[in-house]
Structures are given as C-alpha cells and as structure tokens.
C-alpha cells in the first residue's frame, strides 16, 4: 500500500526562468545540481541537445548489445529493482514516478542496455555528453541512468515553469530549441514523442487508479 501511495503522489512544480544547470561541491564533499547559481563555487554545465533530432530518422532504432561490450559494471535489473529505483529518484528529485516510468517506456521500453542509432544510451537514453556532465560513470547501470535522466528532466521542468509538454519536448529535441520557440518544435518526431509519453503517462495513472479502487473494494467486502 505504501508503494501505491508513493506512486499516486503528484508534485507541485516551481516556476523558474533559468535555462542553465549549475553544479558545485560543498564543504562536506557533496556535489549539488541547481538551476539557481546561488553559490560562488557553482559552475555552469554545458548540456548539449539531448539528441540531434533534425539529423536522424523519425523512428529511433534501438538494439541490445551485450553489457560486457560496454564495460558496464551494472547487472541486468529486475522489474522490482527498476520500480524501486524509479520510486527512489522520484522522491529525491520531486518528479511523479509514473511520468518517469512513461519516459523510460517511450525511450527504451525498459531495455537497460539499449543504444540508439545516434548513441543515446540506457533506460532514459542519455547522450554520452549529457551523461558525462551529470557525472554518470556507467550509463548502462540502471540506477545511475534513471537518476541522471530524472535529474536532467527535473531541471527542464524548472526551466520551463513546470510545463510537462515543453519539458518533454526539450528532453527530446534539446532545451535550446524549445527555449527559443517557447513552444514544441514542429519536428514530427518530437511531436510524436510528447504525445507518446503522455499517452503512457495517462495509462499508468489509470492503471494505478484501478488498482487502488480494487484494493478499496476488497476492503469493503472483507468479513473478519
């Protein structure tokens, strides 16, 4: 029941106008990521566009490679461990876990070792440059990939004032394009991407609502 409650949590998204991501290490050796550079040690992370959408086919082709070829130290994740990772990072970065799940479904269909034809890697299809900037040492490690991808998406939500559609478009086409337009770019893949993620998101929410209703009904008819 605790997991169900966590999955049903919807979070308030703050309105922030910054379009950059900054990082710094505090006095305790902890690395921080923020879109508000309120510490003198903060340095900007130059995040490249998530993908070069204009130079690749509309339908991304992903394929599985043996994890050893990527020198991955991560083991293939179980369904339960993926759920646990999603719940953990959703609470840490204040993003609806069902939305994270919908992004992963769209990006890699939960294929931990997926690689796109343009080099995007892992569950949330991080580009190598973005993964490096977010301190990811193994993009095929399930937890690292989900954590970094969610942290990146959290920054996009902050950048675009909590607008999920624009944030999804930026995740696919790059924040620069979306910021310049102030709208979803008229790129067929990006338009389709946003629609697909939102369709999965709605489906996961409906599934969770049905499950919660079923549990409540069973409680009502239980006789001790």
Catalytic residue positions, numbered: 107
Please report the beta strands in 42-169, taking only residues with DSSP state E, as ranges in sequence order: 43-45, 62-64, 114-116
The answer to whether the CB of 73 falls within 8 A of the CB of 138 is yes
Say how far apart CA 102 and CA 109 lie, in whole Å.
9
Say how far apart CA 42 and CA 34 lie, in whole Å.
9
Torsion of CA 117, 118, 123, 124, to 10 degrees: -140
The answer to whether the CB of 167 falls within 8 A of the CB of 134 is no
Q: Half-sphere exposure (CA, 13 Å, Cβ side) for 60?
A: 25
The DSSP 8-state label assigned to residue 141 in this structure reads S
The answer to whether the CB of 58 falls within 8 A of the CB of 188 is yes
């Amino acid at each position: 029941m605790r997991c169900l409650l966590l999955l049903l949590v919807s979070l308030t998204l703050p309105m922030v106008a910054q379009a950059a991501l900054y990082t710094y290490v505090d006095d305790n050796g902890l690395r921080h990521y923020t879109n508000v550079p309120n510490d003198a040690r903060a340095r900007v992370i130059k995040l490249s566009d998530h993908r070069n959408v204009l130079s690749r086919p509309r339908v991304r082709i992903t394929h599985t490679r043996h994890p050893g070829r990527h020198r991955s130290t991560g083991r293939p994740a179980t369904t339960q461990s993926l759920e646990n990772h999603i719940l953990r990072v959703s609470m840490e970065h204040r993003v609806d876990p069902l939305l994270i799940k919908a992004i992963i479904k769209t990006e890699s269909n939960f294929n931990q070792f997926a690689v796109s034809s343009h080099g995007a890697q892992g569950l949330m299809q991080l580009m190598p440059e973005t993964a490096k900037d977010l301190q990811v040492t193994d993009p095929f490690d399930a937890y690292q990939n989900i954590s970094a991808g969610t942290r990146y998406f959290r920054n996009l939500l902050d950048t675009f004032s909590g607008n999920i559609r624009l944030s999804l478009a930026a995740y696919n086409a790059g924040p620069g394009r979306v910021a310049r337009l102030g709208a979803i770019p008229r790129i067929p893949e990006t338009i389709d991407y946003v629609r697909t993620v939102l369709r999965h998101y709605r489906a996961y929410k409906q599934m969770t609502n049905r499950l919660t209703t079923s549990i409540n009904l069973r409680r009502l008819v239980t006789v001790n």
